[in-house]
């Protein structure tokens, strides 16, 4: 039957989908407004190049400055922090309303300034934040039913939100759900999968309806912010062969990108540690870095566009290729060319990226050289701006580069003269190029394939897309680790992959466990406060105080208590019973920030930890294979696992996420 709880859960799920869809459209509209303004103002004349660079740098300064000052967690794509949260690691300041606003406006400004960044990653982050807000992240918690305050619900809604953000960005509901599923580490059951699909579909529908105006909506098509072109059933089998070189190039470029990015990140960190330790310096340096990256991007594109790229305006050439883009006044710009000409490269640069991708994949007749320049410049400048304080994601620039390079390959002489490939070559190679680059950099796999599938609306492309992904992923893995893995590692986040490392079969829990700090169930305020001051552990095994040997480490385990609950008990002198139900669930890993005890009561007053502890935590024995403990950790989303001894159920040790992560990289 459907209880009130189920009803509320579905209602909030639906609301989350609609809200995320609206956020996606608002972000896209704001970005496009900036891009359109920039294009109208600077697109006509190369003489305004300097002011264009100035304009872009100003926008970048604003975005980067706001991020560094107000919400450093908003920088970058945000997918790594969402991944970390869903994996069980809470990164601070990444889910606040301030972060939401900074991310929203910062992304619009960064993408609007022409930086090689996209709104897809930020939308995942924004969706996750929306999910967090709707379940009690902000003051709503008083009015919401109390069951949403459990951390399990919060985490579920966070992953639903990220699925919605993704779905709205790409118009790919199934892809969004799969993305959340591939990244969310914990317990996904059928019902959550189903709720995810409904929420994502609503997000996509809300985006579609808002974008067309609710009255103007007549056809269900072109959902997402990115459209990868319409369906085309004529997919030749030769495309499967072309998947191999495409994947090869994508894998090599992707591996190179990840390695170069990791190097830059290390340099950034080194400089940051050495040169500026004070806050104003840091803000200034981060802002300048972002402005520099954006300025260089604009300069590079415009400088090349100034010297090359003028083409005649005409509808169709003698070989039947469509030059319709040259007459599209919302796309083509003159940028100093003659009256009957437009500047190809400037058009590709000033137009919104989504439009460019669409035009390339629709087979618009751009020259191979322009596409090649565009792809190379976008790839190089992506390296420059991704990693600065600017909010913005990887997907759009990678798809842009891939489509440009794939299109350039299709326009090159060999393909132009081959009868077999000619007609669909640009479209298909563009898609394969985008897939190859995405797979080469990110290595996410199934969701990536589904996104592209849904984005292109063409299931017949499936086999070539899978083949390209296989090759690109394989080659990329030979050259470097995946981007997210590197990004999480560089942020020192103890991330646990879902896949159990093979060497864990030969290790045992005893090899990694740490000596525990235990509390006795019936203790005194002063003793507990002493323990809390002496170490920074997030949780403490509680041993029985009934009887048994004098040495607490020989007494049997009675439960597990979180640091914050002991601190709350000491600070407020309450038994904490009222919110035990919610908090007890959080014991398994979704505990809050490790607050230092405030207003600690100390002294010989007795303190009973019984009401706040979890009475039956997950436990393992010391001779348990590490692989089994790892599985328990990642599947149940644990943060602490108590190791007990066979003989007397006494506490032998504690395994934490950091212990396992350390073992992972050794």
For residues 393-422, which are near a copy of itself according to CB under 8 A?
none
* Binding test (CB under 8 A) with a copy of itself, winner from 33, 138, 140, 194: 194
| 197 CB-side CA count, 13 A | 7
Least distance to a copy of itself from the beta carbon of 1, Å? 9
Nearer to a copy of itself among residue 201 and residue 520 (C-beta): 201
Nearer to a copy of itself among residue 110 and residue 178 (C-beta): 178
Query: Is residue 168 at the binding interface for a copy of itself, with CB under 8 A as the rule?
Result: no
* Binding test (CB under 8 A) with a copy of itself, winner from 3, 143, 417, 492: 3
Least distance to a copy of itself from the beta carbon of 567, Å? 25
Contact 406, 431 (CB under 8 A): yes
Classified as helix, coil or strand, 389 is coil
Least distance to a copy of itself from the beta carbon of 498, Å? 4
Count of residues in the chain: 666
* Binding test (CB under 8 A) with a copy of itself, winner from 274, 499, 599, 665: 499
Region near a copy of itself per CB under 8 A, out of 186-194, 287-295, 351-359, 529-537? 186-194
Q: How would you class 111 by CB atoms within 10 Å of its CB: exposed for 0-12, middle for 13-18, buried for 19 or more?
A: buried
Structure tokens at 627: 């692989």
Query: Is residue 623 at the binding interface for a copy of itself, with CB under 8 A as the rule?
Result: yes
582/649 Cα distance (integer angstroms): 27
- Phi/psi at 550 (5° precision): -65, -45
Torsion sign (Cα): 581, 584, 585, 586: positive
Q: What ranges in 44-150 are assigned the alpha helix state H?
A: 49-70, 79-87, 97-112, 120-132
* Binding test (CB under 8 A) with a copy of itself, winner from 312, 595, 605, 635: 635
* Binding test (CB under 8 A) with a copy of itself, winner from 90, 282, 491, 631: 631
* Binding test (CB under 8 A) with a copy of itself, winner from 32, 276, 628, 658: 628
Q: How would you class 348 by CB atoms within 10 Å of its CB: exposed for 0-12, middle for 13-18, buried for 19 or more?
A: buried
Query: Is residue 242 at the binding interface for a copy of itself, with CB under 8 A as the rule?
Result: no
Query: Is residue 612 at the binding interface for a copy of itself, with CB under 8 A as the rule?
Result: no
Contact 349, 381 (CB under 8 A): no
Region near a copy of itself per CB under 8 A, out of 61-69, 128-136, 352-360, 495-503? 495-503
Classified as helix, coil or strand, 343 is strand
Least distance to a copy of itself from the beta carbon of 537, Å? 22
Query: Is residue 445 at the binding interface for a copy of itself, with CB under 8 A as the rule?
Result: yes
- Phi/psi at 540 (5° precision): -135, 130
Q: How would you class 414 by CB atoms within 10 Å of its CB: exposed for 0-12, middle for 13-18, buried for 19 or more?
A: exposed
Query: Is residue 424 at the binding interface for a copy of itself, with CB under 8 A as the rule?
Result: no
225/157 Cα distance (integer angstroms): 23
Region near a copy of itself per CB under 8 A, out of 266-274, 302-310, 596-604, 632-640? 632-640
Query: Is residue 189 at the binding interface for a copy of itself, with CB under 8 A as the rule?
Result: yes
**What number of chain residues touch a copy of itself (CB under 8 A)?**
82
* Binding test (CB under 8 A) with a copy of itself, winner from 69, 70, 144, 240: 240
Region near a copy of itself per CB under 8 A, out of 86-94, 178-186, 278-286, 366-374? 178-186
Angle between helices 97-112 and 4-42 (to 10 degrees): 30
The contacts of residue 393 (CB under 8 Å, 6+ apart) are 77, 78, 79, 117, 118, 119, 120, 121, 122, 123, 124
* Binding test (CB under 8 A) with a copy of itself, winner from 328, 497, 579, 582: 497
Contact 445, 221 (CB under 8 A): no
Query: Is residue 22 at the binding interface for a copy of itself, with CB under 8 A as the rule?
Result: no
| Positions in 526-545 near a copy of itself (CB under 8 A) | 544
* Binding test (CB under 8 A) with a copy of itself, winner from 32, 48, 236, 412: 236
Least distance to a copy of itself from the beta carbon of 494, Å? 18
Query: Is residue 644 at the binding interface for a copy of itself, with CB under 8 A as the rule?
Result: yes
C-alpha 413 chain-centroid distance:
39
Nearer to a copy of itself among residue 378 and residue 629 (C-beta): 629
* Binding test (CB under 8 A) with a copy of itself, winner from 54, 138, 271, 459: 459
Least distance to a copy of itself from the beta carbon of 263, Å? 22
Torsion sign (Cα): 513, 519, 525, 526: negative
Which one, of 265, 623, 656, lies nearest residue 496 by Cα?
656
Query: Is residue 464 at the binding interface for a copy of itself, with CB under 8 A as the rule?
Result: yes
Query: Is residue 220 at the binding interface for a copy of itself, with CB under 8 A as the rule?
Result: yes
43/24 Cα distance (integer angstroms): 27
Query: Is residue 380 at the binding interface for a copy of itself, with CB under 8 A as the rule?
Result: no
| Positions in 91-130 near a copy of itself (CB under 8 A) | none
Region near a copy of itself per CB under 8 A, out of 93-101, 130-138, 171-179, 348-356? 171-179
Give the H/E segment covering residue 29. Answer: helix 4-42
Nearer to a copy of itself among residue 182 and residue 416 (C-beta): 182
Contact 388, 296 (CB under 8 A): no
Least distance to a copy of itself from the beta carbon of 179, Å? 11
* Binding test (CB under 8 A) with a copy of itself, winner from 97, 457, 576, 592: 457
| Positions in 347-376 near a copy of itself (CB under 8 A) | none
431/406 Cα distance (integer angstroms): 7
* Binding test (CB under 8 A) with a copy of itself, winner from 234, 318, 329, 417: 234
Least distance to a copy of itself from the beta carbon of 587, Å? 10
* Binding test (CB under 8 A) with a copy of itself, winner from 138, 140, 217, 241: 217
* Binding test (CB under 8 A) with a copy of itself, winner from 389, 613, 620, 654: 620
Region near a copy of itself per CB under 8 A, out of 134-142, 182-190, 263-271, 405-413? 182-190
The contacts of residue 336 (CB under 8 Å, 6+ apart) are 44, 45, 46, 47, 306, 343
Query: Is residue 485 at the binding interface for a copy of itself, with CB under 8 A as the rule?
Result: no
331/352 Cα distance (integer angstroms): 9
Strands 522-524 and 539-543: what pairing? unpaired
End-to-end CA distance of the chain: 50
Least distance to a copy of itself from the beta carbon of 44, Å? 36
Which one, of 363, 360, 355, lies nearest residue 372 by Cα?
360
Query: Is residue 451 at the binding interface for a copy of itself, with CB under 8 A as the rule?
Result: no
Structure tokens at 242: 């072309």
Query: Is residue 198 at the binding interface for a copy of itself, with CB under 8 A as the rule?
Result: yes
């Amino acid at each position: 039957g459907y209880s009130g709880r189920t009803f509320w859960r579905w209602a909030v799920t639906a609301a989350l989908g609609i809200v995320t869809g609206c956020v996606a459209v608002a972000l896209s509209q704001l970005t496009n407004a900036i891009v359109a303004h920039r294009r109208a103002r600077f697109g006509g004349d190369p003489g305004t190049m300097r002011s264009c660079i100035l304009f872009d740098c100003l926008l970048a300064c604003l975005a980067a400055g706001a991020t560094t000052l107000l919400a450093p967690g908003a920088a970058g794509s945000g997918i790594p922090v969402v991944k970390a949260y869903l994996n069980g690691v809470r990164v601070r300041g990444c889910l606040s309303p301030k972060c939401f606003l900074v991310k929203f406006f910062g992304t619009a400004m960064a993408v609007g300034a022409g930086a090689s960044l996209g709104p897809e990653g930020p939308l995942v982050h924004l969706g996750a934040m929306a999910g967090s807000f709707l379940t009690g992240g902000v003051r709503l918690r008083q009015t919401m039913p109390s069951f949403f305050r459990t951390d399990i619900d919060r985490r579920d809604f966070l992953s639903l939100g990220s699925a919605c953000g993704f779905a709205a960005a790409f118009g790919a509901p199934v892809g969004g759900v799969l993305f959340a599923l591939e990244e969310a580490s914990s317990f996904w059951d059928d019902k959550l999968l189903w709720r995810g699909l409904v929420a994502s579909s609503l997000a996509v529908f809300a985006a579609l309806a808002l974008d067309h105006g609710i009255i103007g909506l007549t056809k269900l098509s072109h959902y997402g912010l990115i459209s990868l072109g319409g369906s085309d059933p004529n997919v030749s089998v030769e495309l499967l062969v072309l998947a191999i070189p495409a994947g090869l190039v994508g894998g090599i470029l992707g591996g190179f990108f990840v390695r170069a990015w990791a190097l830059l990140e290390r340099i950034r960190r080194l400089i940051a540690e050495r040169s500026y330790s004070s806050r104003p310096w840091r803000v200034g340096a981060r802002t300048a870095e972002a402005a520099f990256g954006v300025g260089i991007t604009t300069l590079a594109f415009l400088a090349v566009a100034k010297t090359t790229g003028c083409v005649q305006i005409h509808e169709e050439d003698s070989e039947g290729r469509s030059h319709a883009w040259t007459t599209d006044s919302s796309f083509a710009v003159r940028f100093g060319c003659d009256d009957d000409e437009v500047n190809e490269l400037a058009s590709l640069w000033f137009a919104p990226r989504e439009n460019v991708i669409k035009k390339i994949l629709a087979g618009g007749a751009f020259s191979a050289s322009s596409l090649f320049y565009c792809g190379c410049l976008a790839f190089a400048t992506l390296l420059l701006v991704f990693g600065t304080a600017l909010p913005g994601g990887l997907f759009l620039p990678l798809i842009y580069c891939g489509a440009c390079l794939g299109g350039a390959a299709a326009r090159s002489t060999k393909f132009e003269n081959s009868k077999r490939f000619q007609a669909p070559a640009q479209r298909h190679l563009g898609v394969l190029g985008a897939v190859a680059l995405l797979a080469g950099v990110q290595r996410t796999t199934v969701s990536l394939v589904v996104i592209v599938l849904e984005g292109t609306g063409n299931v017949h492309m499936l086999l070539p897309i899978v083949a390209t992904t296989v090759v690109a992923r394989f080659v990329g893995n030979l050259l470097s680790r995946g981007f997210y893995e590197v990004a999480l590692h560089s942020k020192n986040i103890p991330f646990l992959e879902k896949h159990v490392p093979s060497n864990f079969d030969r290790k045992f829990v005893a090899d990694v466990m740490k000596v525990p700090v235990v509390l006795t169930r019936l203790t005194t305020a002063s003793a507990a406060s002493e323990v809390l001051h002496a170490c920074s552990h997030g949780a403490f095994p509680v041993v029985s105080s009934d009887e048994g040997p004098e040495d607490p480490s020989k007494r049997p385990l009675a439960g597990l208590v979180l640091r914050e609950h002991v601190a709350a008990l000491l600070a407020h002198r309450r038994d904490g019973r009222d919110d035990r139900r919610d908090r007890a669930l959080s014991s398994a890993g979704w505990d809050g920030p490790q607050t230092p005890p405030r207003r600690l009561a100390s002294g010989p007053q007795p303190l009973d930890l019984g009401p706040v502890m979890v009475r039956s935590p997950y436990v393992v024995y010391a001779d348990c294979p590490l692989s089994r403990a790892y599985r328990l950790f990642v599947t149940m989303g644990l943060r602490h696992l108590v190791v007990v001894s066979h003989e007397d159920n006494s506490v032998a040790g504690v395994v934490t996420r950091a212990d396992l992560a350390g073992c992972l990289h050794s």
